[in-house]
Chains A and B, each alone.
Chain A
Amino acid sequence: AQSVTQLGSHVSVSEGALVLLRCNYSSSVPPYLFWYVQYPNQGLQLLLKYTSAATLVKGINGFEAEFKKSETSFHLTKPSAHMSDAAEYFCAVSAEYGNKLVFGAGTILRVKS
């Protein structure tokens, strides 16, 4: 079975500050890990994914995430927040060649000017 825990349902940062959204996973098989972003009233958009290649994954809009097996974590970071980053972010896990994604509960990112 697989599961994902996102620590912090709401995160607030100032514009220009570091963004850190936390995700820990549980998986009985080597996982594939994902971060999706959902802007208000829109569908989900893939930010980045880890599929057992490089542990540091770069995604769109300046985001990146690092897979740490020892910590079972896949935290999402961005060096400098922009107002347009305000959205809800979902971490998800699947098995290699699996047939479903299991999502975390989501973290709402607020960016203050």
Chain B
Amino acid sequence: DTAVSQTPKYLVTQMGNDKSIKCEQNLGHDTMYWYKQDSKKFLKIMFSYNNKELIINETVPNRFSPKSPDKAHLNLHINSLELGDSAVYFCASSLAGRADTQYFGPGTRLTVL
């Protein structure tokens, strides 16, 4: 069984569109994360949620809105997509306060045309 899953795996869309990426974990973890890996492979945290509450928001444009319907899910909604949003987005999860043991999803490659 997949521990951390993301859908879709690939997403190609036009500038200005709104899109969502879904993440689910079946590990019973309390904390979930979104990371962005840009074209230079630099990996940077965007958001972190603990038990559905936002605990990290790393100066990400407000076009990005994470939503956590329950602690097993953390979805990423992006409004008005821009070319610079093209990247690979990784979801991860861990026990609360245990960023030292994160499990990563397979990534979603977003391409904005």
Contacts and interface: CB of A to CB of B under 8 A. Distances in A.
B104 A44 contact: yes
A25 interface: no
Contacts of A103: 42-44
Nearest to A45: B104
Interface string A12-46: 00000000000000000000101010000011111
Interface stretch (A55-63, A64-72, A75-83, A92-100): A92-100
Interface of B: 4, 31, 33, 40-45, 48, 50, 55-56, 90, 97-102, 104-107
Given A42-B106, A43-B106, A44-B104, A100 B40 contact: no
Contact of A98 (B42, B44, B100, B104): B100
A99 B41 contact: no
Interface size class of A (residues with CB under 8 A): 20 to 34
A94 B43 contact: no
